[in-house]
Amino acid sequence: QFAKPEDGIEYRQAAKVLLASHFGRMVPVIKGEAPYDAEAIKENVAILNTLAGLPWVAFGPGFEGGDAKPEVWSDAKGFEEKRENFKVAIQNLSAAANSSDLNKLKAAFGKAGQSCKSCHDSYRKD
Ligand code: ASC
């Protein structure tokens, strides 16, 4: 899958760049600074849904390094819990987007952002 660990690290970082872009671009809508286009949000969240599954294959054994703390590997169970929490948060965000209800979207968006931050606080070097 990856010829060398650096390729995996580059892959997971690239996936995170895209995740951050597709997550962050919804902020103006969440803040009420841009109009809520339910169809555009649905399309964007569908992309997020796909992206959200990508980084993890490159966090397995042998992919230590990059911005990841050693705890990703020494506390693999804790990291897996964060990953599961994120998966659920993105599923809930998809459901909220598909409901076309801005208030549901705002709530689910906030929880997804907390999930990102909670994992970064524990497992990413600052
Ligand atoms: C982002 C991004 C994160 C999360 C986090 C939410 O857009 O890049 O890591 O949101 O900041 O609190």
- Report pLDDT digits (tens) over 9-61: 999 999 999 999 999 999 999 999 999 999 999 999 999 999 999 999 999 99
CB of 18 sitting under 6 A from ligand 1: no
Whole-angstrom distance, CA of residue 90 vs CA of residue 107: 12
The yes-or-no verdict on residue 98 having pLDDT over 90 is yes
Atom of ligand 1 at shortest range from CA of 120? 9
- CA 113 to centroid of ligand 1, rounded, Å: 6
Which of these, 110, 115, 87, 100, lies nearest to 39 by C-alpha position? 100
Q: Which tokens hold the place of 29? A: 């809508």
Say yes or no: domain 5-123 is CATH 3.40.30.160. no
Half-sphere exposure of 82 (CA within 13 A, CB side): 21
Residue 112 has pLDDT above 90, yes or no: yes
Tell me the pLDDT tens digit for each residue of 61-87: 999 999 999 999 999 999 999 999 999
The domain segmentation of the chain, as residue ranges, is: 5-123
Residue 126 has pLDDT above 90, yes or no: no
Among 86, 116, 118, 126, the mutation site with the greatest number of ligand 1 atoms within 8 A of its Cβ is: 116
- Of ligand 1's listed atoms, the one at least distance from the Cα of 24 is 7
Model ipTM?
0.94
With a 6 Å cutoff on the Cβ, whether 23 touches ligand 1 is: yes
Determine the Cα–Cα distance for residues 123 and 117; give it in Å rounded to an integer: 10
